[in-house]
Chains A and B, each alone.
Chain A
Amino acid sequence: MSEPSVARLSGVTHRYGSVVALEEVDLEVRRGEVLAVLGPNGAGKTTAIHLLLGSLPVQTGRATVFGQRPDAPGVRARRGAMLQISGVPDTLTVGEHIDLFRAYYPTPVPASDLLAMAGIEGLEGRRFGKLSGGQKQRVMFALALCGDPQLVFLDEPTAGLDVEVRRGLWEEIRRHRESGRTTVLTTHYLEEADALADRIVVLHRGRVIAEGAPSTIKSRTAARRVRCVTRVTGDAVTSVPGVVRSETRGQHLEVLTSRPETLVRELLDRDPDLHDLTVVGAGLEEAFLALTRESDEPGPVR
């Protein structure tokens, strides 16, 4: 087992009726990496995950995990998953759920280690239904790790959690990363992908539109945020080449663009009284918006 790729989608197209969820997608998960599959709702992230989990049949193309079919028994025992829409029955306790899931695997992690890894020590006697949203997600995370998996899928692990709780869960995922396992994480929080991933694949409308290290993705788009006080309106600059998005905040105009020089020249031409000008490098969020815009020409991105 020395091949660098632990899971792979090759030329995968998936449809739900007439809706195309994935189109000609190639996706490789490399050994030991944390791969973030990033994209807005409806991009096809969950479909990709479920093809690799074997819970959706492959329609066109190929899906393999550890070189085998994703639903092969040997694969199931070495893989863990935290699904997006998933809870476990409310009336059983955390300890009971962990006990049951551990029984499924040949070499389970000791329950006390799981509680520590997920940061839920002391909750083992509590019923699942009595937990907070963040605690529930931590339990689901612990269940994903029960079998000491070599490959873990986390499908939007922090969706619907508030910022504090989300950052708390990141800590657990980061600690887990150091154990050298392979993790595939889907998210539409760009900050999350940036904070956790070694590599990012950006999915948009069922296609891979970008792929690389977080820094690569940023440099590829090189988006900048231009901010100034001017009488030029946001609408007036949308046609300037490179502009991704513009909006007025208070008395400031804020524009996201891949060509800041062109924009600034244009703005100064139109409004000599322009002042309070700043140009800053954009974060992953902006990079992502720019990428999305590239593959989705007409219409503004929300």
Chain B
Amino acid sequence: MTAPKQAPRWRIYALEAWYQFLMVLREPAFAIPTLLFPLIFYLFFGVVMGAGSFSAAAPTYMLATYSVFGVMGPSLFGFGAGLAMERDSGVLLLKRTTPMPAAAYLLAKVAMAIAFGAAVVLGIFLLGAHGAGVVLYRWQWFALAGVVLAGVIPFCALGLAVGAWSRGRAAVAITNLVFLPMAMLSGLWIPITIFPAALQDIANVLPAYHQAQLALKIIDMDGGQTTLLHVSVLGVQSLAYLAVAAFGFRRAGTGAVSIHPGGTS
């Protein structure tokens, strides 16, 4: 009787990821901002205004930074807002009573962030190459895509920390408060070299800044800090976010959130 009969693991992981993807794709409040905003921003600032305005290099620079922006969105929102809302709705608690491995749930969100991020990056690359005349070596296109997509690691970890510590609708607001200012202060919209020195210093503690610098290195447009520095900061920060998330979950007791003391028990 105790023979550990189990459902095939790979199937749980695959279905969990597929349905996570479908679920998010059908949610306009998520799909539109994360898929369309980076593309529209790039089209406007990179292609239309960038071509010929303040610098001929602008469309190329923005190709890298808006791609980072495009990967950051689904990572942060999938984990931050998505997790908090699924916790509030009780579905997370329900799933925790089933044999579903917790990792399947988390990896499904990472897979969703990669899929959405890849779609945005592809769109930006097409706009850049065909709309703004960005010319890169073939290896640069691939390297850029790879580096930018690796951003799901720090961004998902950050999103998880936000999701672990916030509830429902507040999580959407908090995610936005992390997402938009960080994008700007990290130089994802316009180069931070335009900012006052004090603001430029802030960028050094932001994961999006380091992620963008790694991407810009590939096209030789970074600020000159070492790869090791960027990778170290991102690695340490990712671990720190995961620790913060783990602490948050422990405090909330995985999903026991729906039991309110003295309330409807």
Tell me how far the C-beta of B264 lies from the nearest C-beta in chain A, rounded to whole angstroms.
Answer: 5
The complex places the Cα of A280 from the Cα of B97 at a distance, in Å, of: 45
Task: Flag if A91 contacts B97 (CB, 8 Å).
Answer: no
Known contacts A92-B22, A100-B15, A100-B19; A76/B99 CB under 8 A: yes
Task: Flag if B23 contacts A47 (CB, 8 Å).
Answer: no
- Give the nearest-CB partner of B24 in chain A: A91
Number of chain B residues close to chain A: CB under 8 A: 37
Q: Is A107 in contact with chain B by the CB < 8 A criterion? A: yes
Q: Is A105 in contact with chain B by the CB < 8 A criterion? A: yes
Task: Flag if B261 contacts A21 (CB, 8 Å).
Answer: yes
Q: Is A170 in contact with chain B by the CB < 8 A criterion? A: no
Q: Is A122 in contact with chain B by the CB < 8 A criterion? A: no
The complex places the Cα of A1 from the Cα of B23 at a distance, in Å, of: 41
Which residues from A are CB-within-8-Å of B253? 56-57
Q: Among A5-13, A78-86, A212-220, A262-270, which stretch is in contact with chain B?
A: A78-86
Q: Is A53 in contact with chain B by the CB < 8 A criterion? A: yes
Which residues from B are CB-within-8-Å of A44? 265
Task: Flag if A74 contacts B2 (CB, 8 Å).
Answer: yes
Q: Is B111 in contact with chain A by the CB < 8 A criterion? A: no
Chain B residues touching A, majority SS: loop
Task: Flag if A56 contacts B259 (CB, 8 Å).
Answer: yes
Chain A residues touching B, majority SS: loop
Determine which of A42, A76, A86 lies in contact with B93 in the assembled complex, contact meaning CB atoms within 8 Å: A86
Determine which of B15, B93, B97 lies in contact with A79 in the assembled complex, contact meaning CB atoms within 8 Å: B97
Task: Flag if B15 contacts A83 (CB, 8 Å).
Answer: no
Q: Is B193 in contact with chain A by the CB < 8 A criterion? A: no
Tell me how far the C-beta of A42 lies from the nearest C-beta in chain B, rounded to whole angstroms.
Answer: 6
Greatest chain B CB density within 10 A among A76, A104, A147 is at A104
Greatest chain A CB density within 10 A among B7, B253, B259 is at B259
Tell me how far the C-beta of A12 lies from the nearest C-beta in chain B, rounded to whole angstroms.
Answer: 14
What 1/0 flags go to B224-265 for Cβ under 8 Å of A?
Answer: 000000000000000000000000000001111011011111
Which residues from A are CB-within-8-Å of B4? 73-74
Determine which of A21, A41, A104 lies in contact with B99 in the assembled complex, contact meaning CB atoms within 8 Å: A104
Which residues from B are CB-within-8-Å of A77? 5-7, 99
Task: Flag if B256 contacts A56 (CB, 8 Å).
Answer: yes
Determine which of A43, A86, A108 lies in contact with B89 in the assembled complex, contact meaning CB atoms within 8 Å: A86
Greatest chain A CB density within 10 A among B1, B96, B256, B265 is at B265
Q: Considering the complex of A and B, which 3 residue pairs feature the smallest CB-CB distances, nearest first?
A: A16-B261, A86-B90, A91-B26
> Using a CB–CB distance below 8 Å, which chain B residues touch chain A?
1-2, 4-7, 11-12, 15-16, 19, 22-23, 26-27, 86, 89-91, 93-94, 96-100, 253-256, 258-259, 261-265
> Using a CB–CB distance below 8 Å, which chain A residues touch chain B?
1, 16-17, 19, 21, 41-47, 50, 53-57, 73-74, 76-77, 79, 81, 83-89, 91-92, 96, 99-101, 103-108, 127, 143, 147
**Can you name 8 A-B pairs with beta carbons within 8 Å?**
A16-B261, A47-B265, A81-B94, A86-B89, A89-B89, A91-B22, A100-B19, A143-B94
